[in-house]
Protein backbone atom coordinates (compact mmCIF):
# COMPACT_ATOMS: atom_id res chain seq x y z
CA UNK A 1 0.00 0.00 0.00
CA UNK A 2 1.39 3.39 -0.98
CA UNK A 3 0.71 5.63 2.01
CA UNK A 4 2.11 8.64 0.18
CA UNK A 5 -1.00 8.71 -2.00
CA UNK A 6 -3.15 9.00 1.11
CA UNK A 7 -1.25 12.00 2.47
CA UNK A 8 -2.00 15.21 0.64
CA UNK A 9 0.67 17.89 0.76
CA UNK A 10 0.27 21.64 0.97
CA UNK A 11 3.08 24.13 0.97
CA UNK A 12 2.68 26.72 3.69
CA UNK A 13 4.98 29.72 3.44
CA UNK A 14 5.29 32.40 6.10
CA UNK A 15 8.65 34.08 5.87
CA UNK A 16 11.51 31.71 6.61
CA UNK A 17 9.25 29.05 8.13
CA UNK A 18 8.28 27.51 4.79
CA UNK A 19 7.20 23.91 5.29
CA UNK A 20 5.35 21.05 3.69
CA UNK A 21 2.15 20.13 5.49
CA UNK A 22 0.89 16.57 5.18
CA UNK A 23 -2.82 16.60 5.85
CA UNK A 24 -4.66 13.95 7.84
CA UNK A 25 -6.22 11.58 5.26
CA UNK A 26 -9.78 12.73 4.63
CA UNK A 27 -9.19 16.28 5.94
CA UNK A 28 -8.73 19.40 3.85
CA UNK A 29 -7.31 21.76 6.48
CA UNK A 30 -5.10 21.86 9.55
CA UNK A 31 -6.13 22.00 13.20
CA UNK A 32 -7.58 18.54 13.83
CA UNK A 33 -6.27 15.47 15.61
CA UNK A 34 -6.10 12.31 13.54
CA UNK A 35 -8.93 10.05 14.81
CA UNK A 36 -6.56 7.28 15.95
CA UNK A 37 -4.39 9.78 17.84
CA UNK A 38 -7.44 11.31 19.49
CA UNK A 39 -8.42 7.87 20.79
CA UNK A 40 -4.93 7.32 22.16
CA UNK A 41 -4.69 10.52 24.19
CA UNK A 42 -8.29 10.63 25.43
CA UNK A 43 -8.25 9.56 29.09
CA UNK A 44 -10.23 6.44 29.88
CA UNK A 45 -11.98 5.73 33.15
CA UNK A 46 -9.07 3.46 34.07
CA UNK A 47 -6.29 6.02 33.65
CA UNK A 48 -7.75 9.25 34.99
CA UNK A 49 -5.90 9.03 38.31
CA UNK A 50 -2.88 11.30 38.38
CA UNK A 51 0.49 9.91 39.40
CA UNK A 52 2.16 12.19 41.92
CA UNK A 53 5.75 11.30 41.08
CA UNK A 54 7.07 9.72 37.88
CA UNK A 55 10.10 7.58 38.66
CA UNK A 56 12.91 6.71 36.27
CA UNK A 57 11.68 3.12 36.14
CA UNK A 58 8.14 4.20 35.30
CA UNK A 59 9.36 6.55 32.59
CA UNK A 60 11.56 3.90 31.01
CA UNK A 61 8.76 1.33 31.08
CA UNK A 62 6.43 3.72 29.24
CA UNK A 63 8.68 3.95 26.17
CA UNK A 64 7.40 2.84 22.80
CA UNK A 65 4.13 2.03 21.03
CA UNK A 66 2.87 -1.15 19.38
CA UNK A 67 4.30 -1.47 15.88
CA UNK A 68 4.66 -3.97 13.04
CA UNK A 69 7.33 -5.18 10.68
CA UNK A 70 6.19 -3.98 7.26
CA UNK A 71 9.44 -4.50 5.33
CA UNK A 72 8.79 -6.25 2.03
CA UNK A 73 12.37 -7.11 1.07
CA UNK A 74 14.53 -9.79 2.66
CA UNK A 75 16.81 -8.09 5.19
CA UNK A 76 20.15 -9.05 6.70
CA UNK A 77 20.35 -7.87 10.31
CA UNK A 78 23.33 -8.30 12.59
CA UNK A 79 24.61 -7.00 15.93
CA UNK A 80 28.15 -5.81 16.54
CA UNK A 81 30.07 -4.34 19.48
CA UNK A 82 32.97 -1.91 19.00
CA UNK A 83 35.30 -0.13 21.41
CA UNK A 84 34.43 -2.95 23.83
CA UNK A 85 31.13 -1.49 25.00
CA UNK A 86 29.08 0.17 22.24
CA UNK A 87 26.51 -2.02 20.54
CA UNK A 88 25.11 -1.35 17.09
CA UNK A 89 22.51 -3.16 15.00
CA UNK A 90 23.08 -3.13 11.25
CA UNK A 91 20.28 -3.47 8.69
CA UNK A 92 20.53 -3.95 4.95
CA UNK A 93 18.69 -5.64 2.13
CA UNK A 94 20.00 -9.16 1.60
CA UNK A 95 20.77 -8.59 -2.09
CA UNK A 96 22.48 -5.23 -1.59
CA UNK A 97 25.85 -4.99 -3.35
CA UNK A 98 28.60 -2.42 -3.69
CA UNK A 99 29.32 0.50 -1.39
CA UNK A 100 26.15 2.40 -0.45
CA UNK A 101 25.13 5.32 1.79
CA UNK A 102 24.46 4.76 5.49
CA UNK A 103 21.98 6.22 7.95
CA UNK A 104 23.32 6.24 11.50
CA UNK A 105 20.13 6.08 13.57
CA UNK A 106 19.88 7.35 17.16
CA UNK A 107 16.77 6.26 19.05
CA UNK A 108 14.67 8.57 21.19
CA UNK A 109 13.80 8.21 24.84
CA UNK A 110 14.54 11.45 26.67
CA UNK A 111 18.27 10.58 26.93
CA UNK A 112 17.36 8.13 29.73
CA UNK A 113 15.33 5.46 27.91
CA UNK A 114 14.68 3.78 24.61
CA UNK A 115 16.68 0.98 23.01
CA UNK A 116 17.62 -0.71 19.77
CA UNK A 117 14.49 -2.83 20.15
CA UNK A 118 12.24 0.24 20.42
CA UNK A 119 13.26 1.36 16.92
CA UNK A 120 13.59 -2.10 15.38
CA UNK A 121 10.63 -1.75 13.03
CA UNK A 122 11.40 1.83 11.89
CA UNK A 123 14.99 0.81 11.15
CA UNK A 124 13.80 -2.21 9.17
CA UNK A 125 11.63 0.08 7.06
CA UNK A 126 14.49 2.52 6.45
CA UNK A 127 16.68 -0.32 5.18
CA UNK A 128 13.78 -1.72 3.15
CA UNK A 129 12.99 1.47 1.24
CA UNK A 130 16.31 2.19 -0.43
CA UNK A 131 19.75 0.93 -1.37
CA UNK A 132 21.08 2.03 1.96
CA UNK A 133 22.51 0.56 5.16
CA UNK A 134 21.12 1.51 8.56
CA UNK A 135 23.25 1.39 11.72
CA UNK A 136 21.24 1.79 14.92
CA UNK A 137 23.36 2.87 17.90
CA UNK A 138 22.90 1.74 21.51
CA UNK A 139 24.44 4.81 23.16
CA UNK A 140 24.81 5.17 26.93
CA UNK A 141 21.75 6.33 28.85
CA UNK A 142 21.37 8.81 31.69
CA UNK A 143 21.36 9.08 34.63
CA UNK A 144 23.86 6.23 34.87
CA UNK A 145 25.82 7.86 32.05
CA UNK A 146 25.08 11.58 32.01
CA UNK A 147 25.99 14.13 29.36
CA UNK A 148 28.33 14.06 27.48
CA UNK A 149 28.82 10.27 27.59
CA UNK A 150 25.87 9.35 25.34
CA UNK A 151 26.83 12.05 22.84
CA UNK A 152 30.42 10.83 22.72
CA UNK A 153 29.18 7.28 22.09
CA UNK A 154 27.25 8.59 19.09
CA UNK A 155 30.28 10.39 17.68
CA UNK A 156 32.45 7.31 18.27
CA UNK A 157 29.89 5.25 16.33
CA UNK A 158 30.10 7.62 13.35
CA UNK A 159 33.90 7.55 13.50
CA UNK A 160 33.93 3.73 13.69
CA UNK A 161 31.63 3.52 10.66
CA UNK A 162 33.88 5.89 8.70
CA UNK A 163 37.01 3.92 9.59
CA UNK A 164 35.41 0.53 8.79
CA UNK A 165 33.18 1.67 5.95
CA UNK A 166 34.49 -0.62 3.21
CA UNK A 167 34.17 -3.79 5.30
CA UNK A 168 30.64 -2.74 6.23
CA UNK A 169 29.66 -2.16 2.59
CA UNK A 170 29.39 1.60 3.15
CA UNK A 171 30.60 4.53 1.08
CA UNK A 172 32.50 6.52 3.72
CA UNK A 173 31.72 9.76 1.90
CA UNK A 174 27.97 9.18 2.19
CA UNK A 175 27.26 9.11 5.93
CA UNK A 176 23.94 10.53 7.15
CA UNK A 177 22.69 10.73 10.72
CA UNK A 178 19.08 10.59 11.88
CA UNK A 179 17.22 10.34 15.15
CA UNK A 180 13.90 10.90 16.84
CA UNK A 181 13.21 13.11 19.88
CA UNK A 182 16.29 12.91 22.13
CA UNK A 183 17.91 10.98 19.29
CA UNK A 184 17.25 13.99 17.08
CA UNK A 185 19.01 16.20 19.62
CA UNK A 186 21.95 13.80 19.66
CA UNK A 187 21.97 13.72 15.85
CA UNK A 188 22.44 17.46 15.42
CA UNK A 189 24.77 17.59 18.45
CA UNK A 190 26.90 14.81 16.95
CA UNK A 191 27.05 16.70 13.66
CA UNK A 192 28.08 19.89 15.48
CA UNK A 193 30.81 17.91 17.30
CA UNK A 194 31.89 16.43 13.96
CA UNK A 195 32.24 19.95 12.55
CA UNK A 196 33.98 21.37 15.63
CA UNK A 197 36.54 18.56 15.51
CA UNK A 198 37.07 19.11 11.80
CA UNK A 199 36.31 15.51 10.83
CA UNK A 200 33.31 16.33 8.60
CA UNK A 201 32.10 12.74 8.43
CA UNK A 202 28.39 13.57 8.27
CA UNK A 203 26.93 14.70 4.94
CA UNK A 204 23.20 14.86 5.79
CA UNK A 205 21.03 14.87 8.89
CA UNK A 206 17.38 14.06 9.59
CA UNK A 207 15.85 15.42 12.79
CA UNK A 208 12.56 13.76 13.70
CA UNK A 209 10.64 15.83 16.27
CA UNK A 210 13.93 16.62 17.98
CA UNK A 211 14.24 18.30 21.36
CA UNK A 212 16.54 21.24 20.62
CA UNK A 213 15.89 23.65 23.50
CA UNK A 214 16.69 22.27 26.94
CA UNK A 215 16.61 23.95 30.35
CA UNK A 216 13.23 25.69 30.07
CA UNK A 217 11.49 23.34 32.51
CA UNK A 218 8.39 22.85 30.39
CA UNK A 219 7.43 26.50 30.82
CA UNK A 220 7.18 29.66 28.74
CA UNK A 221 6.06 30.45 25.22
CA UNK A 222 7.66 27.37 23.68
CA UNK A 223 5.21 25.26 25.68
CA UNK A 224 2.15 27.39 24.92
CA UNK A 225 -0.33 24.92 23.43
CA UNK A 226 -2.57 27.73 22.16
CA UNK A 227 0.08 28.47 19.52
CA UNK A 228 -0.55 25.06 17.95
CA UNK A 229 -3.65 26.51 16.24
CA UNK A 230 -6.22 23.92 17.30
CA UNK A 231 -9.65 23.98 15.68
CA UNK A 232 -11.02 21.17 17.83
CA UNK A 233 -10.16 19.25 21.03
CA UNK A 234 -8.30 22.23 22.52
CA UNK A 235 -8.64 20.99 26.10
CA UNK A 236 -7.48 17.50 25.20
CA UNK A 237 -4.43 18.75 23.31
CA UNK A 238 -3.58 21.35 25.95
CA UNK A 239 -3.66 18.69 28.68
CA UNK A 240 -1.47 16.42 26.54
CA UNK A 241 1.12 19.18 26.09
CA UNK A 242 1.00 20.00 29.82
CA UNK A 243 1.63 16.37 30.75
CA UNK A 244 4.62 16.27 28.43
CA UNK A 245 5.94 19.56 29.81
CA UNK A 246 5.68 18.22 33.35
CA UNK A 247 8.57 15.83 32.70
CA UNK A 248 10.89 18.39 31.09
CA UNK A 249 12.76 19.49 34.22
CA UNK A 250 13.06 15.90 35.43
CA UNK A 251 14.62 14.86 32.12
CA UNK A 252 17.21 17.63 32.43
CA UNK A 253 18.00 16.52 35.96
CA UNK A 254 18.58 12.95 34.79
CA UNK A 255 20.62 14.00 31.75
CA UNK A 256 22.88 16.76 33.07
CA UNK A 257 25.16 17.16 36.06
CA UNK A 258 24.66 20.36 38.13
CA UNK A 259 27.83 21.97 36.74
CA UNK A 260 26.67 21.61 33.11
CA UNK A 261 24.83 24.61 31.70
CA UNK A 262 21.86 23.66 29.56
CA UNK A 263 22.50 26.51 27.10
CA UNK A 264 25.63 24.97 25.57
CA UNK A 265 25.02 24.07 21.91
CA UNK A 266 25.66 20.34 22.33
CA UNK A 267 22.62 20.29 24.65
CA UNK A 268 20.60 23.16 23.15
CA UNK A 269 21.54 23.13 19.45
CA UNK A 270 19.55 26.26 18.60
CA UNK A 271 22.25 28.16 20.51
CA UNK A 272 25.07 27.02 18.20
CA UNK A 273 27.00 29.90 16.63
CA UNK A 274 28.24 27.81 13.69
CA UNK A 275 25.03 26.33 12.31
CA UNK A 276 26.22 27.33 8.83
CA UNK A 277 28.63 24.39 8.96
CA UNK A 278 25.81 21.86 9.11
CA UNK A 279 24.94 19.67 6.10
CA UNK A 280 21.54 19.57 4.32
CA UNK A 281 18.89 18.89 6.96
CA UNK A 282 15.39 17.46 7.02
CA UNK A 283 13.22 18.39 10.02
CA UNK A 284 9.90 16.62 10.62
CA UNK A 285 7.32 17.30 13.33
CA UNK A 286 3.78 16.37 14.31
CA UNK A 287 1.19 19.16 14.22
CA UNK A 288 0.41 18.77 17.93
CA UNK A 289 3.87 17.73 19.11
CA UNK A 290 4.81 19.73 22.24
CA UNK A 291 8.22 20.29 20.60
CA UNK A 292 6.81 21.86 17.43
CA UNK A 293 7.43 25.46 18.53
CA UNK A 294 11.10 24.85 19.28
CA UNK A 295 11.49 23.03 15.97
CA UNK A 296 10.07 26.12 14.23
CA UNK A 297 12.87 28.16 15.78
CA UNK A 298 15.50 25.62 14.75
CA UNK A 299 14.32 25.66 11.13
CA UNK A 300 14.38 29.46 11.04
CA UNK A 301 17.93 29.53 12.42
CA UNK A 302 19.12 26.86 9.98
CA UNK A 303 17.71 28.82 7.07
CA UNK A 304 19.19 32.08 8.35
CA UNK A 305 22.53 30.22 8.39
CA UNK A 306 21.93 29.19 4.73
CA UNK A 307 21.74 25.48 5.57
CA UNK A 308 19.61 23.70 2.91
CA UNK A 309 16.63 22.73 5.08
CA UNK A 310 13.40 20.89 4.39
CA UNK A 311 10.56 21.01 6.91
CA UNK A 312 7.60 18.64 7.01
CA UNK A 313 4.63 18.87 9.37
CA UNK A 314 2.44 15.80 9.81
CA UNK A 315 -1.01 17.05 10.66
CA UNK A 316 -2.99 15.40 13.43
CA UNK A 317 0.11 13.76 14.92
CA UNK A 318 1.63 14.02 18.39
CA UNK A 319 5.10 13.19 19.68
CA UNK A 320 6.77 9.86 18.82
CA UNK A 321 4.34 8.88 16.07
CA UNK A 322 7.18 7.15 14.22
CA UNK A 323 7.03 4.43 16.88
CA UNK A 324 3.67 3.30 15.51
CA UNK A 325 5.06 2.03 12.22
CA UNK A 326 2.64 -0.41 10.63
CA UNK A 327 -0.31 1.16 12.45
CA UNK A 328 -0.08 4.79 11.29
CA UNK A 329 0.16 5.81 7.64
CA UNK A 330 2.22 8.80 8.68
CA UNK A 331 4.92 6.69 10.33
CA UNK A 332 5.75 4.77 7.17
CA UNK A 333 5.60 7.95 5.12
CA UNK A 334 8.09 9.58 7.51
CA UNK A 335 10.54 6.71 6.97
CA UNK A 336 10.11 7.02 3.20
CA UNK A 337 10.73 10.77 3.34
CA UNK A 338 13.87 10.12 5.40
CA UNK A 339 15.33 7.69 2.89
CA UNK A 340 14.38 9.84 -0.11
CA UNK A 341 16.00 12.90 1.46
CA UNK A 342 19.22 11.11 2.29
CA UNK A 343 19.54 9.54 -1.15
CA UNK A 344 18.78 12.89 -2.83
CA UNK A 345 21.56 14.60 -0.86
CA UNK A 346 24.03 11.80 -1.52
CA UNK A 347 23.46 11.60 -5.29
| Residue 85 covered by a domain | yes
- Does 48 map to a domain? no
Residue 46 lies in a domain: no
Helix (H) or strand (E) holding 313: strand 309-314
84 has catalytic annotation: no
Domain that holds residue 131: 3-39+57-346
In 3D space, the residue among 175, 188, 193 whose CA is nearest the CA of residue 214 turns out to be 188
What does the pLDDT read at residue 292?
A: 98
The predicted structure's pLDDT at residue 53: 84
Residue-by-residue DSSP string for 258-297? TTS-TTSTTTSGGG-S-GGG---EEEEEETT-TTHHHHHH
| Domain-embedded: residue 142 | yes
> Between vectors from CA 136 to CA 282 and to CA 37, what angle results, nearest 5°?
60
Q: For residues 227 and 297, what is the distance between their CA atoms, to the nearest angstrom?
A: 13
Residue 51 is predicted with a pLDDT of 55
* Residues of the chain predicted below pLDDT 50: 1-2, 15-16
CATH of the domain at 334: 3.40.50.1820
If you count DSSP H runs as helices and E runs as strands, how many of each does the chain have, helices first? 10, 10
Q: Is residue 196 part of a domain?
A: yes
Burial 201-235 (b: 16+ CB within 10 A, else e): bbbbbbbbbbbbbbbbbbeeebbebeebebeebee
Number of compact structural domains in the chain: 1
pLDDT score for 8:
65
Beta strands in 182-229 (DSSP E): 202-208
The answer to whether residue 139 sits within a structural domain is yes
Catalytic residue among 233, 289, 323, 333: 289
pLDDT of residue 48: 55
For residues 247 and 35, give the distance between their C-alpha atoms in angstroms, rounded to a whole number.
26
Q: Is residue 235 part of a domain?
A: yes
Cβ neighbours of residue 46 under 8 Å, at least 6 residues apart? none
Residue 115 bears catalytic tag: no
* Eight-state DSSP code of residue 171: E
What pLDDT is recorded for position 18? 84
Write the DSSP string, 74-91.
-EEEEEEEETTTEEEEEE
In a domain, 52, yes or no: no
Per the annotation, the verdict on 164 as an active-site residue is no
Q: 217: which residues sit within 8 A by CB, 6+ positions away?
A: 248, 249, 252
Catalytic residue among 181, 187, 323, 333, which?
Answer: 181
Angle between helices 182-196 and 149-163 (to 10 degrees): 60
**How many angstroms from the chain centroid is the CA of residue 90?**
18
Amino acid sequence: MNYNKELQMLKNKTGSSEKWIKLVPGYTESGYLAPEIKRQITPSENNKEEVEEVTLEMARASMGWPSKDIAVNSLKIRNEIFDHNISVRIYQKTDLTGLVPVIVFLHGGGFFGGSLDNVEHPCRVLADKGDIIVVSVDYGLAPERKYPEGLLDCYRAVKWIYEHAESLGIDKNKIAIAGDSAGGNLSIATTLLDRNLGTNFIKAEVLLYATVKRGINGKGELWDASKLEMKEDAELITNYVAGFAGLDAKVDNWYMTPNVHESIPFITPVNAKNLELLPPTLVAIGEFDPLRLQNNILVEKLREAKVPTEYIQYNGMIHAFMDQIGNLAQAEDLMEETVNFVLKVMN
